[in-house]
């Protein structure tokens, strides 16, 4: 369904769920995860159902992830950068003190 428009782009290493993986320069976090075969980026706070990138333009909020320890980040709107630590968001994000 998706294909990169920048296939020859520079590889960018990052981690997803603690695993070393690689995206491409120009990818959003969501695009990199989809290209790696990870369709689910979070679990809902009510039922725990898996959710993942849907609209790819920041409208649906189904692609929420934790990036470098900060939750509620929309993976489709965040440009991938080398060294990012990305984790699935499990349930709702707790309020910060």
Residue 84 pLDDT: 98
Average pLDDT over residues 80-84: 97
Tell me what percent of the residues of the chain surpass a pLDDT of 90: 64
Sign of CA dihedral 54, 77, 57, 92: positive
- Boundaries of every domain in the chain: 11-90
Residue 36 pLDDT: 94
| β strands within 1-97, DSSP E | 11-16, 19-24, 42-43, 50-51, 64-67, 70-74, 85-90
Distance CA 36, CA 42 (A): 16
**pLDDT per position as a tens digit, 42-62:** 888 888 899 999 999 999 889
Residue of higher predicted confidence among 2 and 81: 81
The SS3 assignment for 34 reads helix
Domain boundaries 11-90, corresponding CATH code: 3.10.20.440
């Amino acid at each position: 369904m998706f294909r990169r428009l920048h296939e020859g782009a520079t590889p960018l290493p990052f981690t997803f769920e603690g695993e070393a993986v690689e995206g491409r320069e120009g990818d959003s976090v969501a695009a990199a995860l989809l290209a790696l075969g990870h369709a689910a980026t979070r679990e809902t706070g009510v039922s725990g159902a898996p959710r993942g990138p849907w609209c790819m333009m920041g409208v649906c909020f189904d692609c929420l992830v934790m990036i470098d320890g900060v939750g509620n980040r929309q993976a489709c709107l965040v440009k991938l950068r080398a060294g990012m630590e990305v984790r699935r968001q499990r349930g709702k994000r707790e309020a910060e003190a």
